Structure 1
Amino acid sequence: MQISGKIPKEIGNLVGLNALQIATTSITGEIPSSIGKLEKLSDVGLFENRISGSIPSSFGNITQLLILQLHDNYLRGLIPSCMGNCSQLESLRLDSNFLFGNIPKELFSLSHVFELNLSRNSFTGQLPIDLAGGKMTNLVQLNVSHNRLSGGIPSALGDCLMLEGLWMSDNLFEGGIPSSINNLKSLVAIDLSNNKLFGEIPEYFQNFPLLQYLNLSFNNFEGKLPIGRIFGNVSIIFVVGNPRLCGGIHQLGLPSCKIRDKKLHLLIILISVIASCSIFLTVSLLVTFAYKRSKRKASTSTTAQDPKQFPMISYAELSQATNEFSSSNLIGEGRFGSVYKGILSRDGILVAVKVLNLKRRGATKSFMAECETLRNVRHRNLIKIITVCSSIDFKGTSFKDLVYEFMQNGSLEEWLHPNEDQTGARSLSLIQRLNIAVEVASAIEYLHNYCQPSIVHGDLKPSNVLLDEEMVSHVGDFGLARFLSISQNQSSSMGVKGTIGYVSPEYGMSLKISKAGDVYSFGILLLEMITGKTPTDSMFKDNLTIHQLVKTRLPERVTDIIDPSLLQEVQEAEISKAKDMQKGVGVLESLLAVAEVGVVCSMESPSERMEMKEVAAKLYAIRDKFLL
């Protein structure tokens, strides 16, 4: 039965009450101040409702309170400083509300707290300088992400020796990572992304034996990235968006570090002295070098689209690499051309060569769009372009292609809809689907929010999500991508195309593409990953869409529409409930949560959809909860 209405002020008369749990309902209105009369309360759970107003200061009277969970409501205002009176408090969750102002220092004097979650509000100012102060020694989870907090990361955090999860992303923190963090050997997850942190990334993270997630993306870190232990696992460490970082393992795509040691410095000085004494010889050598260089430049073939960005490659080399573009090397065909598997003779790299069919209208425009888009973007979940070729073939016909990293595990479409001979051999588990969803969302969020100007992909679908040998996702095919100028910000008036079933409904009434269109496509992709059905499946007729199918089955009948291969995992988890109660519940909860995100993303009205930043954050949270 769904409970609705308001919490009556008369609740204060229940003075013997020791637990108040009215969660995940439709409760509205404010929390009455009379709740402070319930001094025997130890557990209050009013989360996931529609409660508004402020947090009553009378909560400070409930000194026996152990658990206070008010998250996912519409609470506004400040956190009362008298909350520090709740000295026995162990779990405090105020996340996902509309709270603001400074976080009162009294919260950080609660010595029994093991979980403190204040994320997704609008808190400002600094974390109290005397954070912990030797008192928060039991703190296991601290989450202040997605606020407007500033200042440095308090060094006193190093006193919280029990800390396992440190979540501080999407704030305005600045400065370096304090050395005291080295004390936190129990850390499992650290997220400091999207701040203004700078300096070098500490090597001591290599010595954290339990660390499984380290996100330092989109800061101003610089210098050489370590390569030991955690730094050698691309599924654990995230450092994209730090343009001054170098080194690290090659899968991270960072530039090589310039060697700057003392010996090199002395050598440079010595060379400078010799050069100053031999100026005539030096000038002569420079003139000779310039002359030879100009001759070499004049004789060089112009087969590469932009030598400043991509290495040169000829049609002959590509022909050899793909066995003369033989059908046995053909691995896919798309709107504007064909894709071949090949091996470059120069270094033995396995590549995918996308050859444009220039007879198709828009192929050249697609080629230029993809070159322009991929030239300047860098994200571990975007396909990496190795080089391009714009030349003529052996018949004298114009020839254009793009050369990418080869993805060993094909496309997401091949995994969701395997051929008959692949059925059984290819099946994605829930955690694999969650990882793919998170990675694709992260890539699209990067295009929307961290590229200047913003980029709209324009054709997001499973066949454009490629999987490498470690099943890490890479979004590809930017032939329909568009840049949004600052003045356009949300939309572009260039011609709209895309794939039926994934194209946002408003595109049919307008020639403008937008970020919201990508969100719609991503929502459909999520629903396809959950159901195993394409949006153009024959069952979708008479105004029934994949969006409507899933929406009408939520939440009670979600198992009716789950991909059969996933349903088996759910059933197996249910059977094992006796041994591990959380696992069965976790699988269903996670599936339901992802389905809900997919439904919201694929709403018909663009204004009802989430932005990709929020989508990515929700999917990260779903995955993290599933892994706990």
Structure 2
Amino acid sequence: MKSICLLSSFLFFVVVIFLTTISASYVGNKTDHLALLSFKLMITKDPYGALTSWNSSFHFCDWNGVTCGKRHRRVTVVQLESQGLEGPLSPHVGNLSFLHELWLFNNSFEGTIPHEIGRLFRLRFLGLDKNKFNGIIPTNLSGCSNLEELYLSGNKLVGSIPKEIAFISQLTLIAIHDNNLRGGIPSSLGNITSMEVFSATGNPLGGNIPNTLGNWKSLRELYFGDCNLYGTIPHSIYNLSLVTMFSLDNNKLTGSIPAELGIMQPHLTVLQLRDNQVAGLLPPSISNCSKLQVLELQNNNFSGKVTVDFSKLRDIVWISLYQNNLNGEIKFIDSLKNCSNLKELDLSGCKFQGVVPASIGNLSFQLKHLNLGENQLHGNLPSSIGNLLGLRLLNLESNQFTGEISSTIGMLQNLGVAYLDENQLSGKIPDAIGNLSTLIKLSLSSNRLEGDIPPSLGNCHNLLTLYLYNNKLSGKIPKELLQLTTLSIKFDLSQNNLVGSLPIEVGDLKMLSYMDLSHNNLSGKIPDSLGGSTSLSFLYIKNNSFQGIIPLSLSSLRGLVELDLSHNNFSGQIPRFLEQFLLTYLDLSYNDFEGEVPVLGVFINASAFWVLGNNRLCGGLVELGLPKCKETGKHKKRLHWFIIVILIVSAIFSILCFVYACFKKKSNRQLYQSSTHGRFSKISYNQLLKATDGFSEAMLIGKGGFSSVYKGIIDQDDKTVAIKVLHLQNRGADRSFIAECEVWRSIRHRNLLKIITSCSSVDFHGNDFKALVYEFMPNGSLHDKLHSSACTPRPNLLQRINILINVACALDYLHNHCLSTIVHGDLKPSNILLDDDMVAHVGDFGLARFLGPSLNQNNSIGIRGTIEYAFGSEMTTSGDVFSFGILLLEVMTGKRPTDDIFMEGLSLHKFVYMALEDHVTHAIDEELLKYHHKDEIAMENIALTLKIGVSCSLYSPPHRMNIKNVVNELQHILDMIQNI
């Protein structure tokens, strides 16, 4: 009986415990459910429908991105990376008490990081990087006592690194780079002895590196670049023997590197101390770091001879020592012959002396950049340099090299940039240089070269920049050189002994921005063809013997900023067209000009132009001190004729406008019928309703003034399509539909969005309904790829150039290869769609127009393009070219033309134009700059691409590039980049 009572008591106890567990589990589940719903409620944008499944139809453990434990069915993981989510992070996330991992990387969460996260004591991984969080790092994160990895980088966090983080004793990784944290590095961080990776690059922390960080015995990677640090690097840091990545670049650090570095840190793969003030010798023990791949010590105060034995560093890829106080000879190059992975060797600006050893030709075939410039090297250039077949950049400038340039240079078939300027090289320029078909920049200036310029240079069909100034070159300018249509940045032959006239082929340099032929013995008249070089911004031909009048054809050079014709024998009157130019510098002095000096444009500023030494000039500004001009009756008579011509032209224009309006009205009455009976099969309203789940918000992928675009699946073939539904209640939407149908009936091209079918019907309420069905583009719009934080990675350089070529080809087809010329009228990144292979397709022809044969791109007046049309100007192909130019600049700069920085007269066009001359990096998208800022060939091609954008978006329509030329130039740039 007693045993039965005991058994009953035990069973009762078990039941009570069981029921208590069930009750607790239920409460916990409800807490998690409510916390997740609060999370969703605070999301203001979910472009990819990541939270669509977060509803009552599913248990929250089955929601997208949510993982629950099998035992308690409590949330353990929330993983929503790269979903484009926007809005604040709900503080109720702190109620997910069983959470182990929270991954919200690469979204657009904003506001402060909720301090309630500090309640998640089971949390092991917290990933909030690449968002828009602001405010401070919550100090009570220390409550996450089991946290192992903390990612907060790429936000807008301020304040300091909380000392309390030191209480999280299990941390192995902290990533807080690219924020705005200040206040130094807390010494208490040294208490986290489990630390393996610490990254704080790109924060203005300030202060010293604490000695306590030497307690991180497990440390493998340390990143403190660009943190405004000063003082010496504690010796205890060098004692961390497991370190592989050691990056402290771009600070104000002093002191020296320990002589035993290679013994203390033998596993180093990356050593970055560039852009500091570190001094002393380079430790020979670096040769003990047998796994070293990157050695960046440039821009410091290192001194003495280089005694490192590089033969042991067989994995070395990058050696950069430039701008230090190193000296002695560069015999250590002998030890690099076994470094078969070496791609960059930069020893410039180090005060090296002596001759270049012939063994330089034994360096790796993979060597791409060899930079020995700005040293005190002398003697002949070794002919063995011709063995470096992989070279893309060769910089030997600013040394004391003598002798001739060896013809073996012609063997460097991959060479893109060659700097041999500011030496004492003599003899002739070797014909073999013409073999360098990939050369884009050649500088031989400031030497003692003589003889003729070899015509073989005309074989360098990729040349963008050529410097031959300040030599002793003679003979005529080869016409082959002037037929290099790629010459577009700088062409400088000044300060030589060149003779003869300027060949008429100079007009072939249509893309050239800068030309200097000054200080030669050139003569004859300026050829009319020079007016074909319409991209010229800087033209200098002073100190020659040119004569005759300035040809009227030069009025085409409306982009000129500086013009120097001084010290020649020019005659006649000063051309009036110079008044219309936006010149900031004009020198016409010491010629034989006569007549009245103009008083408009540059001539209104006496400090911007010079006319000294022209004894037959009169008038102009009082400051010039010239005699007054004698009055004649010609001006009055000319004015009368001008007024008569204006009246006649105005009358003819009014008549033409009336006739055009009548024709337009008649054609519009017939347009709807013609547009809805084309090559498209029809689809019903009901099919589209079903395909889009009732035109639900979840299927919406874009919205504009005239339409909404939905993603849909057509049942009949299970095909994913894009469905553009017109907002017929909005004025102009019906015309947009008609225009688009009419255009789609007439065109077909690989870079135009493919239309599948159309729908013109009524909905279930009896309202008119019109829609177009297109091929679905999985990669969305170019606008989203450039500007949406949800779209990662952003297009790389090759992809961007390919996209621009695709768009230019589409425009070329519309403008030049259709039966009737078609103007798109609304070219912008949101109307450029990208398929699976990132091939661009131009869409949205709702504003398109057909043009007659007489309406070409050069007959328009005023401002054009997508921005231009907003001013009510007539639509022409020139307007599309303008829009393409702005689109190109947006693609390459990453800046919208409507960005806040563009105000008070500054536009995207002007912003890039001003940057192109000296600071092109200021205009380049940071994403491109990050990967290509050290690649001079890539940077040259990016600059050339920007120049095309500027040329396409010039104010004056006649001076914009022809779209055919745009396609050719971009294809040329693509070929160059693919060879990098």
Do the aligned residues in 1 keep the contact of 2:119 with 2:143 (CA within 8 Å)? yes
Q: Match of 2:192, as an amino acid? A: C
Q: Which residue of 2 aligns with 1:145?
A: 249
Q: Is 1:115 matched with 2:387?
A: no
2:329 aligns with 224
Q: 1:599 aligns with which of 875, 894, 917?
A: 894
2:803 is the alignment partner of 1:531: yes
1:82–1:106 Cα contact (<8 Å) kept: yes
Which of 612, 619, 626 in structure 1 is aligned with 2:931?
619
The answer for the alignment partner of 1:286 in structure 2 is none
Letter in 1 for 2:447: F
Q: Is the 8 A contact 2:561 2:582 kept in 1?
A: no
Secondary structure of the structure 2 residue equivalent to 1:166: strand
Query: How many angstroms does 1:164 deviate by?
Result: 0.7
Does the alignment pair 1:7 with 2:73? Answer: no
C-alpha separation between the residues in 1 aligned to 2:351 and 2:537?
A: 27
Map 1:375-524; keep pairs closer than 5 Å. 390-392=497-499, 397=501, 495=561
The structural deviation recorded for 1:10 is 2.1
What is the number of residues matched between the two proteins?
402
* 8 Å contact from structure 2 (residues 285, 308) kept in 1: no
Residue 201 of structure 2 is aligned to residue 95 of structure 1: yes
| Counterpart amino acid of residue 237 in structure 1 | L
1:180 to 285, 289, 294: 285
| Residues 81-92 of structure 1 aligned to structure 2 (within 5 Å) | 81-92=187-198
Q: Answer whether contact 1:115 1:139 (CA < 8 A) is retained.
A: yes
Match of 1:313 in 2: 450
Percent sequence identity is 21
Structure 1: which amino acid aligns with 2:344?
I
Contact 2:111 2:133 in 1 (8 A): yes
Matched, 1:170 2:450: no
Per the alignment, residue 549 of structure 1 pairs with: 829
Contact 2:800 2:892 (8 Å CA) reproduced: no
Whole-Å Cα distance in 1 between the matches of residues 267 and 190 of structure 2? 21
Distance 1:619 1:166 in 2: 19
How has the CA–CA distance of structure 1 residues 209 and 25 changed in structure 2, closer, same or farther, with 3 Å as cutoff?
same
1:197: which partner in 2? 302
Question: Equivalent residue of 2:140, what SS?
Answer: helix
Deviations 1:219-272 (A, max 9, x none): 23222223335468873212233343552537645578569xxxxxxxxxxxxx
**Alpha-carbon distance change, 24 to 239 in structure 1, aligned in 2, over 3 angstroms:** same
Partner of 2:311: helix, strand, or coil?
Answer: helix
Q: Which residue of 2 is the match for residue 589 of structure 1? A: none
Distance 1:126 1:458 in 2: 48
Amino acid at match of 2:561: G
C-alpha contact (below 8 Å) 2:193/2:216 kept by paired residues: yes
Residue 481 of structure 1 deviates from its aligned partner by 7.9
Q: Do the aligned partners of 1:7 and 1:31 also contact (CA within 8 Å) in 2? A: yes
Query: 5+ unaligned residues in a row in structure 2: which ranges?
Result: 1-84, 87-108, 362-369, 380-425, 430-442, 506-510, 516-534, 541-558, 564-579, 586-794, 813-822, 842-889, 900-907, 936-980
2:135 maps to a residue whose letter is G
Indicate if the aligned counterparts of 1:355 and 1:400 stay in contact, CA closer than 8 A: no
When structure 1 is superposed on structure 2, of 32-41 and 234-243 the one drifting more is 234-243
Question: TM-score by structure 1 length?
Answer: 0.52
Looking at structure 1, the residues matched to 350 and 825 of structure 2 have their Cα atoms a distance apart, in angstroms, of 47
Question: Residue in 2 aligned with 1:28?
Answer: 134
Residues 1:330 and 1:610: Cα distance change in structure 2 (over 3 Å): closer
- C-alpha contact 1:524 1:535 (8 A) present in aligned 2: no
Structure of larger gyration radius: 2
In structure 2, distance between residues paired with 1:20 and 1:561: 33
Provide the C-alpha distance between the structure 2 equivalents of 1:400 and 1:221, rounded to a whole number of angstroms.
Answer: 51
| Partner SS state of residue 83, structure 1 | helix
Match of 2:154 among 22, 32, 48: 48
1:209 aligns with 2:310: no
User: How many Å separate the matches in 2 of 1:212 and 1:336?
Assistant: 29
Contact 1:527 1:550 in 2 (8 A): no
Structure-2 separation of matches of 1:617 and 1:459 = 24
Name which structure has the greater RCO, CA cutoff 8 Å, separation 6+.
Answer: 1
Q: Structure 1 residues 620 and 85 mapped into 2: Cα distance closer, same or farther (>3 Å)?
A: farther
Residue in structure 2 matched with residue 240 of structure 1 by the alignment: 348
Give deviations 1:353-378, integer Å, cap 9, x for gaps. 786669xxxx9x975xx357xxxxxx
CA distance in 2, matches of 1:15, 1:550: 45
SS in 2 for 1:112: coil
How far, CA to CA, are the matches of 1:110 and 1:93 in structure 2?
14
Preserved contact between residue 176 and residue 198 of structure 1 (Cα < 8 Å): yes
User: CA contact under 8 A between 1:132 and 1:156: conserved in structure 2?
Assistant: no
CA displacement 1:36-91 (0-9 Å, x = unmatched): 12221111111222222111000111111111111122222211110000100111
| Distance change (3 Å), C-alpha of 1:354 and 1:544 | farther
Alpha-carbon separation, structure 2, partners of 1:482 and 1:331:
23
Query: Shift of residue 115 of structure 1?
Result: 0.8
AA aligned opposite 1:184: C
Partners of 2:121 and 2:145 within 8 A in 1: yes
Distance 1:391-1:611 versus aligned 2 partners, 3 A rule: closer
Q: Are residues 157 and 145 of structure 1, via their aligned partners in 2, closer, same or farther at CA, if it must alter by over 3 Å?
A: same
Superposition pairs of residues 284-363 of structure 1, within 5 angstroms: 309-315=446-452, 318=453, 322=456, 332=461
Name the CA distance, whole Å, in 2 between partners of 1:73 and 1:533: 36
Q: Does the residue aligned with 2:207 lie in a helix, a strand or coil?
A: strand
1:85 and 1:152 map into 2 onto residues whose CA distance is 26
How far apart are the structure 1 equivalents of 2:797 and 2:285?
Answer: 43
1:39 touches 1:64 (CA, 8 Å); kept in 2? yes
- The 8 Å contact of residues 127 and 154 in structure 1, kept in 2 or not, is answered as no
Match of 2:366 in 1: none
* 1:119 to partner: Cα distance: 1.1
Task: Give the Cα separation in 2 of the matches to 1:601 and 1:481.
Answer: 29
Q: CA RMSD in A?
A: 5.4
Q: Is the 8 A contact 1:197 1:220 kept in 2?
A: yes
**Residue 78 in structure 1 maps to residue 350 in structure 2:** no
**Whole-angstrom CA distance in 1 between matches of 2:327 and 2:275:** 19
Q: Check conservation: 2:191, 2:215, Cα contact below 8 A.
A: no
Other structure's SS at 2:133 match? strand
Q: Are the structure 2 counterparts of residues 245 and 336 from structure 1 closer, same or farther at C-alpha, using a change threshold of 3 Å? A: closer
2:296·2:321 contact (CA, 8 Å) conserved in 1?
yes
Moved more, 226-235 or 111-120: 226-235
Cα distance in 2 between the residues matched to 1:168 and 1:122: 13
Deviation at 1:156, TM superposition (A): 4.9
Deviation at 1:560, TM superposition (A): 6.5
**Deviation of 1:98 (Å):** 2.0
Matched, 1:157 2:283: no
